[in-house]
Chains A and B, each alone.
Chain A
Amino acid sequence: MSARNKIRNLAIGLAALPLLGLAWSMDSAPVNAEAKAPQAAVPAADDRLRIVAMRRITEAQYRNAIADIFGPDIKVAGRFEPIVRPAHELIASGASDAAISPSGFEQFDAIARVISAQVFDEAHRGQFVPCAPTDAKGADPACAQQVLAPLGRYLFRRPLSAGEEAFFVKMAGDAAGPTGSFHKGLELALSAMLVSPRFLYVIETAEPDPVKPGELRLDNWSRASRLSFMLWNTTPNEALLKAAEQGKLTDQAQLSAVSQKMVDSPRFEQGVRAFFADMLLFEKFDELAKDPVIYPYFNQDVAQVMPEQMLRTISDHLLARNGDYRDLFTTQRTFMTRSLGALYKVPVTASKGWVPFEFAPSDDRAGLLGQAGFLAIYSHSGRSSPTLRGRAIREVLMCQPVPNPPGNVNFTAVQDTTNKAMPTARIRLTAHNTDPVCSGCHKITDPIGLTLERFDGIGRIRTLENDAPIDDSGSMDGTDFHGASGLGKALAGSPDTTSCVTSRVVEYATGRPAEEASLVEDLEKNFAAKGYGIRALFQRVASMPEAYRVPAEKMDTGATHVAALRR
């Protein structure tokens, strides 16, 4: 084995240790650190803390965290194992149950090495190494400690325990010898931090709730992470960590003030974008494929800008204009690129980038539902789908789960789009729904989705299908209407729409579906009182004591003492 390979293998082993340490047992420290860890450094109060949740950070959160901690010029290269979305829930809920497979961990390890190599290369190390090592070719524990302790605090979103600090310093020193480089040692220690579950997961810990004796509430550090990831989709910054350190985040008044500042910050846009990307199932764009013969206006560029158009519309309406959430389904303001302009058949002035655009009042392009992104992801690769669109509106925007079709359905009638005897989707679906097994669910979805039939499978406007005129009439919950604009108005007027987004924000914040109906109702009342402004809703959820209470069933499980983790 070459020296280079030996070093590489050593590095792999070292990098994996912290993860293995946690994987083996949540209440035992890494083996190497345990022997020499100064036990007295663990505060006695930590013995009362319990791990109550672990949420894997998303790819966007990982990238944002690295950019925030190390700078945007540090490249994050690699494939991230996706977090599985539970049925009818958010990815944020899936993150609470997300494991990392061996191959997924290999990817995290590779990504970590690329990052740490950049951080300690000659161009960057000056920003992160405040001391000169006594021996540039060997270990210097004091200097390594000065480097790793602050980085660890940012990465783990709390100060390193003395045990952890000793562990990573020793790792850096152990690696400095064989590699002949102090900085290579730091590199390996940082790689290990980056594959630690303490970085890859937001570990939420709880403490006894002084207001409600016998119950638990999230501690300050967990609240800092909760606020930061919920509102800014990134790791806590120095101000938030300081606030946690000073115990401000368990003080209701100060928590409200901090959360208010955060929703007023421009960085809140990043959080709102992440929330809606989760709520609107934007992972579907990753696998969006259309038949290029049927849809010549669909190409890679269009696929990339479709979700961005929706997010720009959302953030412009809800944040820049402080708009009413309900108007998101009727607004005719959006943004265009050249490639989207051709799809929408509208002129675009700028050759590159985005330009604001407003559809004419007579145009049926109303709100998010009239945008190509929504219409394309809820269509098939070669045809539109009133059923998929109607189902998405029910499930995604109104939180009304629709049952899956039975396994033995005959789809022949709806799939035969070239049948001149059944030229439109409405006619085909009517034929399909003669089967009573199918008609039950189609009644829930199709009258909604058929109103969007004047948009084809990529959202391009049309008035005919197979030369037959398209009827865009439909209904929802007893209200009849036409087209996307009629549907948008119906959706904006439905109490289920605002109730749904309220419950989704609670779920997004806590990592579990909102189960307390009364809590959602109270929040919705407050949401309405604030003119259905998204800032107010997020601020309210971010600051309400209920969001930081630990559910009773979590407390019934065996305690895991955080103190052990921090040795």
Chain B
Amino acid sequence: MKATSIGKNATIRIAALATTGAALLAIGPMSVAPAVSEATDRTLPKPPADGVMGFVISEFIPPVIQGKDACPQGTALKVKDSYLAGLSPEERARLSLKENEAELTKRWQADIFGPNDTNICSQPDMFSRPAMRTVQSPNAWGLDLDEGGDEGCAHEEFTSPAGEKGIDNQEYRVLGCTLEWRGVDGIQGDQATGTRQFFASGEWTQVILLRGVDSLENDDSVEVIYGNTPDRPMADSNGKFLPGASFTISDKPPRNRNVLHGRIVNGVLTTDPEDVVLTQTWGQGGARDIRGNRTKFDYRRARLRLTFQPDGSVKGYLGGYRPVFDVIQSPSIGGAGAALVAGIDCAAQLQTLRQVADGIKNPKTGKCEGVSGSMQVTAIPAFVNDVPAVRTAAK
């Protein structure tokens, strides 16, 4: 499966756009990218003699570009602030007074409920809400999913901080200004924190198994198994995952064992577009817990783009098109609580997502029902047992 192997253990100079972006990833999407990209020297290790490489995902978070460019007006309004913004200046001033706090609370909270105990998060379709603040910057991290074209729905594209054009990430456009994604003062948002916990607990833990790797620099055919594992990663005292642990791809339904095909070019592995489904349980996930059984990461026409790192890890993105409702399923499952406690305006988010939908075109309606999105992925070396078992431990 070797294509144009430069030579194992060779030091290569890569000035290609993709690799420059990958080098920047080492700094992290939280950083503001330099204006001019730079070539990078790096030495990649040899692949194992059997061409099999395993990884456990240590980072799977929404990529956010920090700074004021993306959201010049500040983060998206919470339900309470959104309610106040809809009032006349006089009434807004009156209700903002401390002595009227109880009245304000009563009124904005009443605003999230509809008839028959419906609310803006459990039944977001039933509510019409004010438009939310979206990302205004032309930059975003992610992948060019439609390769310069579109999936049948015209949309605006981003340019990555590394200069890559045609980035499709409408999910970021809509949610990139929410407090949950953006965080406060450069601290990552709840999405990143929560996701790390789900990966550490074994609930969402993902692994990647590569087969047929002849070179980490160039290889025209690599099989990629991307799936979930019930095994908890080993971590150090700071919670950082440790490389070299063993995992087994889940053998219980839904198995979420995605078989992909890809190639390595200049140290970057890219898979062909394929649907990818991964676990995304909310709540405890027990058999009797309805919350734990009803959600998933459902990426259509998804691809992985991962750059091999000298330390043996890989960094990059999983990108694809997600059904619009999937994007808000977490607060939607949270119901009224998500709106009352976290102040999330699910209805506004869903409306905005629908407005910018750029994928999963419904042939009957001709409308796009999905949005492009990407997750920033970091994976560290691990031993991954496929199921049915590959006796990798047998010697």
A residues lining the B interface (CB < 8 Å): 292-293, 296-297, 299, 336, 338-339, 341-342, 345-349, 351, 355, 357-360
Q: Which residues from 364 to 395 on chain B have a C-beta closer than 8 Å to any C-beta of chain A?
A: 383, 385, 389, 391-395
Which of B54, B240, B242 has most A Cβ within 10 Å?
B242
Q: List 25 A-B contacts (CB under 8 A).
A: A292-B236, A292-B237, A293-B236, A296-B237, A296-B240, A296-B242, A299-B234, A338-B231, A338-B246, A341-B245, A341-B393, A342-B234, A342-B244, A342-B246, A347-B54, A347-B383, A347-B393, A349-B385, A349-B392, A349-B393, A349-B394, A355-B393, A357-B393, A357-B395, A358-B395
Closest 3 CB pairs of A and B: A347-B383, A296-B236, A342-B245
Bound complex: CA of A424 vs CA of B395, how far in Å?
Answer: 33
Q: Is there a chain A Cβ closer than 8 Å to B248's Cβ?
A: yes
Contacts of B395 in A (CB 8 A): 357-360
Return chain A residues, CB-CB under 8 Å to B392: 347, 349
**Nearest Cβ on chain B to A362's Cβ, whole angstroms:** 11
Q: Across the interface, do A297 and B234 meet the contact criterion of CB distance under 8 Å?
A: yes
A338 to B246 Cα, complex, angstroms: 6
In the bound complex, CA of A341 to CA of B392 (Å):
12
Taking a contact as CB atoms under 8 Å apart, the answer to whether B389 and A349 are in contact is: yes
- Report B213-247 residues with CB < 8 Å from chain A CB: 230-231, 234, 236-237, 240, 242, 244-246
Complex Cα–Cα for A338 and B392 (A): 13
Give the contacting residue for B246; candidates A297, A341, A358; CB below 8 A. A341
Q: Whose C-beta in chain A lies nearest to the C-beta of B245?
A: A342
Q: How many residues on chain B are close to A (CB under 8 Å)?
A: 20
The minimal Cβ–Cβ distance linking B51 to chain A, given in whole angstroms, is: 15
What CA separation (Å) do A347 and B54 show in the bound complex?
Answer: 10
Q: Is the CB of B242 within 8 A of A348?
A: no
A361 to chain B, nearest CB (A): 10
- Docked complex Cα distance between A299 and B237 (Å): 9
When C-beta atoms are compared, the residue in chain B nearest to A297 turns out to be B242
A262 → chain B closest CB, angstroms? 35
With beta carbons under 8 angstroms apart, the residue of B234, B245, B248 that contacts A349 is B248
Q: Which residues of A contact B245 (CB under 8 A)?
A: 338, 341-342
> How far, in angstroms, from A330 to B203 measured CA to CA in the complex?
41
Separation of A30 and B302 alpha carbons in the complex (Å): 83
- In the complex, A490 Cα to B112 Cα: how many Å? 79
Residue of B whose beta carbon sits closest to that of A292: B237
A347 to B385, CA, bound (A): 8
Instruction: Return chain A residues, CB-CB under 8 Å to B230.
Output: 351
Contacts A296-B242, A297-B242, A338-B231; A348 near B393 (Cβ below 8 A): yes
Which residues between 136 and 172 of chain B lie within 8 Å of chain A, taking CB atoms? none
* Known contacts A349-B394, A351-B231, A358-B395, then 8 further A-B pairs from the complex at CB < 8 Å, ordered by chain A residue: A296-B242, A297-B242, A339-B234, A342-B244, A345-B244, A347-B246, A348-B393, A349-B392
Known A292-B237, A296-B236, A338-B231; contact A349-B246, beta-carbon cutoff 8 A:
yes
Residues in A with CB closer than 8 Å to B54 are: 347
Chain B residues whose C-beta falls within 8 Å of the C-beta of A359 in the assembled complex? 395
Q: How far is the CB of B383 from chain A (nearest CB, A)?
A: 3
Q: Is A346 within 8 A of B234, CB to CB?
A: no
Q: Are A348 and B237 in contact (CB under 8 A)?
A: no
Q: Which among B231, B391, B394 has the greatest number of chain A C-beta atoms within 10 A?
A: B394
What is the bound-complex CA distance between A351 and B394, given in angstroms? 15
Q: Which of A292, A299, A338, A349 contacts B391 (CB 8 A)?
A: A349
| A443 CB to nearest B CB, Å | 37
Of the candidates A292, A299, A341, the one whose C-beta lies within 8 Å of that of B383 is: A341
Q: How far is the CA of A355 from the CA of B392 in the complex (A)?
A: 12
Q: Which single residue of chain B is at the shortest CB-CB distance from A339?
A: B234
Report A354 CB to chain B, min CB distance, Å.
12
Residues from chain B with Cβ under 8 Å of A296 in the complex: 236-237, 240, 242
Is A346 a contact of B248 with CB atoms below 8 Å? no
Residues of chain A within 8 A of B240, CB atoms compared: 296
Question: Which residues of B are found within 8 Å of A292, using beta-carbon distances?
Answer: 236-237
A285 CB to closest chain B CB (Å) equals 20
Q: Which residue of A lies closest to B243 (CB)?
A: A342
B395 to chain A: closest residue by CB: A358
**A292-B236, A297-B234, A338-B231 known; A346-B242 Cβ under 8 A:** no
Q: B237 contacts A336, CB within 8 Å?
A: no
Q: Nearest chain-B residue to A342 (Cβ)?
A: B245
Query: Can you name the residue of chain A whose Cβ is closest to the Cβ of B384?
Result: A347
- Chain B min CB distance to A39 (Å): 67
In the bound complex, how far is the Cα of B120 from the Cα of A518, in angstroms? 91
| Smallest beta-carbon distance B53→chain A, Å | 12
Nearest neighbor of B391 in chain A, beta-carbon distance: A349
Interface centre among A349, A355, A360 (most CB of B within 10 A): A349
Centre residue among A339, A347, A348 by max chain B CB count within 10 A: A347
A359 to B394, CA, bound (A): 10
In the bound assembly, the distance between CA atoms of A338 and B242 in angstroms comes to: 13
Q: CA of A336 to CA of B393 in the docked complex: distance in angstroms?
A: 10
